[in-house]
Amino acid sequence: MSSLNGHHKRQPVSEDVLRREDFTEERIEEIRRSAIIPDGFEILDQATREASRRTALAEVSEGQGVWVFGYGSLMWNPAFHFIDRIPGAIHGWHRSFCLSAPVGRGSVEQPGLMLGLDRGGSCRGFAFLIEPDKVQSETRILWRREMISGGYVPRWVSVRTNDGPVRALTFTANRDHPRYVGRLPLEAAVQALAMAEGPLGRARDYLYNTVVHLDELGVGDGALHHLLDLVETFRQDA
């Protein structure tokens, strides 16, 4: 069976490192104190993260559910509980490997790259619905996952779906953050994604799983497919 881009159908790479039960304040404190955190890598304290979460949720009425738009690892491992998942697209933002990752799926010696939403273009992904009674608990999990270092900015976006538009929370790249690298030269991005590895796994598996879910969305021949081909070729030639 072939995917839309003519390659054999890809299967997701299993990643069991990030689990729901890991997203606790105690675990974040352990990470903050661990030797793997490089100098200058800021981990936001609980009060800062909670203030950010409350600000983002200020416009959510009591008894109202919350949609979350996922475009990277949230697509295959959201960790939070949800009651619906639907494909959709946003405009004015595009998916980009624009954040350096000296921890997680990289190291100080060989930083990886993480996806963020950067300005311009459009992006297809999945919208997840958190039911009203679980908005508080599940968004706390979400903030501990996405806002650990401040590399993202929580933002409300309009997601176009087959059932009409939904308003959703998503996490855009923080252009003022030290980890923001913008659009790297292609050769540098390929090398980083091909070689970087850290406690959460390999950067190339993160790219691979993203492409698998783009295939699911019907995006069968995009920029990340080309990037994955280059990464796989780099690995073969290394």
Catalytic residue ranges: 146
Nearest to 90 by CA among 158, 8, 21, 147: 158
In Å, how far are 84, 101, 102, 159, 201 from 38, measured between CA atoms? Answer: 38, 11, 8, 36, 17
Could you tell me what percentage of the chain is helix, strand and coil, using 3-state DSSP and rounding each to the nearest 5? 35, 30, 35
CB 96 within 8 A of CB 118: yes
Nearest residue to 83 via CA among 133, 123, 124: 133
Which helix (H) or strand (E) covers residue 143, if one does? helix 135-146
Torsion angle, alpha carbons of 206, 212, 216, 221, to 10: 110
